[in-house]
Structure 1
Amino acid sequence: MKKGSDNTMKDIALELGLSSSTVSRALQDHPHISQETKIKVNEAANRLGYSYNAVAASLRNSKSNTIGLIIPRISRYYQSTVITAIQNKLHEHKYNLMICQSNESHELEKELVNALYASRVEGLIVSSTLNTTDFAHFDVFSRSNRPLVFFDRVPKNYPAHKIQGDDYHGANMATNHLLTQGCRNVAFIGGPLFCNLYRERYEGYADALKGYELSPGPNRTFFHDLTKESALQSCEALFSGKRDTWPDAVFCCNDTVALAVTTYAKNRGVEIPAQLKITGYSNDPLTEIIKPTITSVEQYPSEVGTQAAGMIMNLIQQKLKPGKNYISVTIAVDLVKRDSTDK
């Protein structure tokens, strides 16, 4: 028999005395095929130079065994940890993950949705961009009954399955911690309020202040992309006046900002935590390396990823049949107290 791409599953089946369907299932690592048969089939495939074409198979049976994922930035600790958890969970089901990065661009997000749909992914997991307020481009999945699950940054009114952290409670808990430490001039640096994360975190912050009959002072709240550069601009505004007008605490809506505020304050000679207390959000490992270490809210991203992947697989396998209702899961958060708030 001639080696090469011309050899098919029929050739393998003929050599081993098996049916083509058994060979196909063995090459796909089907659980109903014995390990002994899988080994024989794969050895024969290697010997004959045959490579299983998953794309061609998906065109034949309308199954790609692939899930699409769109996230804003792969480089962030939270997102990268979620990706790992999703991939590990999907691997248990013999599914692959196709990862796309929107770079916080609404237009690119729309292009990626259409590209993943055309690639025949069986479902889509999404954390939307900061600028996504119109979610109509996701309709292509709901119209075709392909499962769609949002996590972290989720739509407020768009009908969809959602996995999100308890952002209100996380912010409220962090701000209350600052207040119980004696702080009364607490600044807030967050993202735009049309994004569910930062709207809920701001509400948690504001309600904590109300509990002490306080309200955000002038020039104490900032809403922008949570990058190092934007955080430093907010710091310039916070620490521009006389020293007695400076905040005694800053609640930061991510750890990138918390790290930037910490570095800025140290460079200005501000003592942390004696003169300024800082809390972050996400519990990035870097918060344990910097001096002083930074108090932060633990979001449990591995649990978020596992829940998102588990939900989409249950929807694909029809173990979940929500009908006209959509499933919403809230992941609990915890405050990890460190040197930046504790004397």
Structure 2
Amino acid sequence: MKKQVQHTIKDVAAALGLSVSTVSRALNNHPHISQETKQRVQEVVEKLDYRHNALAASLRNSRSNMIGLIAPRITMYFQSTVITAIQNKLHEYGYNLMVCQSNDLPAIEKELVKVMYASRVEGLIVSSTLYTEDFSHFDIFNRANIPLVFYDRVPREYPAHKIQGDDYQGGYQTTRHLLEQGARQIAYITGPLSCKLYSDRYEGYKKALREFEVEPNDNLIFCHELNKENALQTCELLFADGTFPEAVFAGNDTTAVAVVQYAKERGIAVPAQLKVTGYSNDSRTEIIEPPITSVEQFPYEVGVQAATLMMELLEQNSKPGQNYISLTTPIELVKRQSSGL
């Protein structure tokens, strides 16, 4: 087998008649190198199949131009949209994004925090697991004065920069809408209340019920991970004896779709007999029959805010413990046929 030729940066420099240092600066997108020179270097790099060792370069200049991101599950509509926005915004600043997912497991999240730190990321953006209650594994970033930004699933007490949706209003507005449509028995399928965003929505749910003088019914509250399998199990309980509530407020759109499909299979008319709402406003809510009322969280804007805040923190070189920033992004209830409109 013919041995593959491994070209070096010296080969690139020789082909262009440039110094090695000039080629190195061009590869690292140095502002003092013209765009024309960078383009020439890139053309020769591709021609020679030269592999630039970005890690070695970062070790030399103590810069990685890399931001880390830990998400619970990148397949979720909200998360994938946020990640896309973050990557696009960081690219404008000349940064790249390293994405890992925790699979909603605190043990994996802890491992990934160490991996991100060892990878010399210049900042870390995090949406924590549903079950993270001890956030001390993030202390390593604070001690090293590396910016840390949480979004969506943010800590309750842990001091950090946070970007969170107005989940209290989301819970309140959705429940009030169902009440205004005449529903009084409103089942609430939510994620674990140990997670701040779900507990905030639950408080909004209870406030709306109080305003309409409806007592919360513990038998209509279901807390678990919001996936299709759990949603169907909850439906078996809700519809077990042939009776069912007047409405279901589902904590995400996956659950809402499962509830609508379950009801239709059993001849229960949505919304005439059962009103259903979801949360996140992903594309499925518009194409299912009937279309599902849901809460728009503006995930792209959340991602832009997270990336912008990260860049501001890097530029300011702000120290942990000083002026933590907490931003609340708006929500909008998108009313559709499933809730009676």
TM range (shorter): over 0.9
Quote the offset at 1:47 in angstroms: 5.3
Contact 2:145 2:319 in 1 (8 A): no
Q: Which residue of 2 aligns with 1:264?
A: 262
Map 1:1-343 → 2, pairs under 5 A: 5=6, 7-8=8-9, 12-13=12-13, 16=16, 18=18, 20-46=20-46, 50-243=50-243, 246-318=244-316, 324-343=322-341
What does the per-residue CA deviation read over 1:250-269, in whole Å, with 9 as the maximum and x for residues that have no partner? 11111111111111111221
Q: Do the aligned residues in 2 keep the contact of 1:72 with 1:128 (CA within 8 Å)? A: yes
Question: How far apart are the structure 2 equivalents of 1:38 and 1:156?
Answer: 46
2:281 is paired with a residue whose SS is: coil
Q: Deviations over 1:227-271 (max 9, x none)?
A: 11111122122222353xx21011111111111111111122111
Q: CA deviation at 1:43?
A: 3.5
Does the 8 A contact of 2:159 with 2:321 survive in 1?
no
TM-score of the aligned structures, taking structure 2 as reference length: 0.93
Cα deviation code 1:282-338 (max 9, x no counterpart): 001011111111000000110111111111122122276786121111110101111
Measure how far apart 1:41 and its partner are: 2.6
Q: Is the 8 A contact 2:171 2:205 kept in 1?
A: yes
Query: What is the Cα deviation at residue 171 of structure 1?
Result: 1.2
Amino acid of the structure 2 residue aligned with 1:7: T
> What percentage of residue pairs aligned between the two structures are identical?
63
Alpha-carbon distance, 1:44 to partner: 4.2
Structure 1 contact 219–237 (Cα < 8 Å) conserved: no
Could you tell me how far apart the structure 1 residues matched to 2:325 and 2:66 are? 22
Deviations 1:39-63, CA, capped at 9 Å, x for gaps:
2333444456543211110110111
Q: TM-score, normalised by structure 1?
A: 0.93
Q: Is the Cα–Cα contact under 8 Å of residues 258 and 278 in structure 1 kept in the other structure?
A: yes
Give 1:91 deviation, angstroms: 1.0
Tell which deviates more after alignment, 126-135 or 226-235: 226-235
Q: Is the 8 Å Cα contact of residues 294 and 333 (structure 2) preserved in structure 1?
A: yes
Q: Which runs of 5+ in 2 are unaligned?
A: none
Superposed displacement of residue 7, structure 1: 3.3
Question: Once the two structures are superposed, what CA deviation does each residue of 1:9-48 show, in whole Å capped at 9, x if it has no partner?
Answer: 5x65566565544332221233442222212333444456
Please give the root-mean-square deviation of Cα atoms over the aligned residues, in Å: 2.0
Structure 1 320/302 Cα, relative in aligned 2: closer, same or farther at 3 Å?
A: farther
Q: Is the 8 A contact 2:186 2:249 kept in 1?
A: yes
